[in-house]
Amino acid sequence: MKLTGAQALIKSLEMEGVEVMFGLPGGCILPVYDPIIDSPIRHILVRHEQGAGHMAEGYAHVTGKPGVAMVTSGPAATNIVTPLCDAYMDSVPMVVITGQVNTFAIGSDAFQECDTTGITQAVTKHNWLVTDAADIPLVVREAFHIANTGRPGPVLIDLPKDVANQLMEWQWPTDADVDADLPGYKPTTKGNGRMIREAARMIAAAERPVIYAGGGILKARAAEALRELAELTGIPVVTTLMARGAFPDSHPLALGMPGMHGNYTAVTSMQKADLLIALGSRFDDRVTGKVDAFAPGAKIVHVDIDPAELGKVRRPDVPIVGDCRSVIEEITQALRQLAAAEDAAPPPDRGPWLAQIRDWQARFPLHYEMAEDDRFLKPQFVIETLRENTPEDVILASGVGQHQMWASQHFRFEHPYTWVNSGGLGTMGFAVPAAIGAKVGRPDRMVWAVDGDGCFQMTAQELVTASAERIPVKIAILNNAYLGMVRQWQELFYEERYSEVYLSPDLPDYVKWAEAMGCVGLRVEHAEEVQPAIEKANSIDDRPVVIDFRTDSREKVYPMVPAGGSNDDIILGPSQGEGGR
């Protein structure tokens, strides 16, 4: 069967089980947009290519399947670099297809030409410039294979226009073809048996252990295995920003989020632990604070599918390369065998440790103060009210900044794959398109986004996409009229010299803007209006809803570990002297 390269590409995507793709056509990708008309794949037409990328990420976050985005060459390709980098940092499987100028024009500074594979080399797990249409099926198979195995990540296929028009003989490659063409790609998934037994011995003997669960738990579909390990051993669990939802916040062993804006118990339990069991986490600087002062008394068991993470920041005592789920299950198994052995050592008394943790939790809970009068709406109150008035399995997307931290802290996550955010790259504007992608991936779930006013202005145009495609997401803007996190740092560390952070609460008018984009727009200024507005939004299912919550611009995110500081110097709140000054 003869196909054009374009037809072969779409057919290959169908063969890979792609149901939906996000994109925007243009000159060089034109040939590929023609067969889309006849394909069962749903194409969602975005308003900006960055939106396509973040939608694909949101889709991947909640489904576990690679998100697919397709855009044209040049400026479209550069517009999708941010989502690629975001997905690379957060290990999100994504396949991006870009158009490219004709092969004979490459290198000639042709119209809408850019070196896409060169530009994206540093932000993709791998990329391809296809120069022969016959290679397309194999490249697509490899792209999905690489994106979704090992440590997941984004890949990019750059397709010149003449290759898309070239005729080829259709043939779908076998697994063996893929393996033969990837001699350098063999991710290790099964952990080393000796190391697993060593980890089990260390866990069994630890007096003050903490499980440090990261985003790898979710990528490996290991939430169940994690819960089994925690419950078998009674070891408390911190869940990083990328792992929120991997362990239910209501669980007695849940300590919540650690790190720069983590709660006191999560941060301090790691500092005082004698063993950290790092599962799919990467000792990010926002978790460790000053590395030399991080968990100084702790031995480290570190499980990760990416060997380069082991020893990158902190040298583990027991490094295990492998898939989190399989390794956790084997550690649990080894612990059971250890306990059943006749010469089993008596388990250490962890009573004092757990009592200490309970004491911290009781003395230093997350808290905020409601304003004395009703003039200032507290953002944390909005998040809590949102939690109380949405289903347990609601999906929450977020942008980046104060609202993200408040959402992570105060929204209690009970299920995996219910939290969609930009952790590593910290991409402002992530929330709206990511929420749309999430809703496309899980139309059965209610999807909310918590966004900042600064973030919202970066990608709000995608609500036009959502309205046009009838994707009923709900956006809660915590509008404090500032680039809030920057304002917080300027208040605490730059002597309240506010430089270029004021945005105005009324410009733009978010309600009118929402309405102009085909959404329902609501405004909330007082605490008693919060719940009715959320309920109204929940009742609207035929279009997106935007709520402009006018929140207190003076409110800051606490606790806080100042950047570069030790986690021991955690600041609990304003009463502790405004950043310790």
> Which residues contact other proteins (rule: CB under 8 A)?
117-118, 121-122, 125-126, 129, 146, 182-185, 306-308, 311-312
**Residue 151: CB minimum distance to other proteins, A:** 8
Q: Which is nearer to other proteins, 308 or 355 (CB)?
A: 308
Pairing of strands 167-169, 2-4: antiparallel
d(CA 331, CA 230): 11
Q: Residue type at 187?
A: P
Q: Per DSSP, which regions of 329-455 are E strands?
A: 395-398, 419-420, 447-452
- Contact 151/218 with Cβ under 8 angstroms? no
Cα 10 off chain centre by: 28
- Contact 556/490 with Cβ under 8 angstroms? no
**Residue 7: CB minimum distance to other proteins, A:** 25
Q: Which of 15, 112, 228, 525 is catalytic?
A: 112
Q: Which of 485, 488, 555, 556 is catalytic?
A: 485
Q: Residue type at 159?
A: L
Task: Give the CA distances from residue 396 to residues 199, 390, 419, 467, in Å, rounded to whole numbers and listed in that order.
Answer: 35, 10, 5, 19
Q: Which residues contact 349 (CB under 8 A, 6 or more apart)?
A: 207
111 noted as active-site residue: yes
**Residue 118: CB minimum distance to other proteins, A:** 7
Q: Which is nearer to other proteins, 307 or 347 (CB)?
A: 307
**Residue 181: CB minimum distance to other proteins, A:** 9
- Contact 473/435 with Cβ under 8 angstroms? yes
549 noted as active-site residue: no
Q: Which is nearer to other proteins, 118 or 365 (CB)?
A: 118
Q: Which is nearer to other proteins, 291 or 355 (CB)?
A: 291
Q: Which of 11, 65, 161, 378 is catalytic?
A: 161
Q: Which is nearer to other proteins, 123 or 434 (CB)?
A: 123
**Residue 101: CB minimum distance to other proteins, A:** 17
**Tokens at 115, concatenated:** 């070196």
d(CA 260, CA 246): 20
Does residue 562 sit in helix, strand or coil?
A: coil
User: Nearest 5 degrees, angle CA 547-CA 552-CA 553?
Assistant: 105
Q: Which is nearer to other proteins, 292 or 372 (CB)?
A: 292
Residues paired with 94 in a beta bridge: 67, 154
d(CA 47, CA 79): 12
**Residue 183: CB minimum distance to other proteins, A:** 5
Handedness of CA 284, 285, 287, 292 (dihedral sign): positive
Q: Which of 111, 121, 224, 369 is catalytic?
A: 111
Q: Residue type at 380?
A: Q
**Residue 241: CB minimum distance to other proteins, A:** 23
Q: Per DSSP, which regions of 178-274 are E strands?
A: 209-213, 237-239, 254-256
Q: Which of 49, 142, 309, 555 is catalytic?
A: 49
Length of the chain: 581
Q: Which is nearer to other proteins, 84 or 230 (CB)?
A: 84
Q: Which is nearer to other proteins, 20 or 129 (CB)?
A: 129
- Contact 575/550 with Cβ under 8 angstroms? no
The per-residue b/e assignment along 43-67, b for 16 or more CB within 10 angstroms, e otherwise, is bbebbbbbbbbbbbbbbbbbbbbbb
161 noted as active-site residue: yes
d(CA 246, CA 225): 10
- Contact 410/51 with Cβ under 8 angstroms? no
Q: Residue type at 333?
A: Q
**Residue 57: CB minimum distance to other proteins, A:** 21
Task: Indicate which residues carry an active-site annotation.
Answer: 49, 111-112, 161, 485
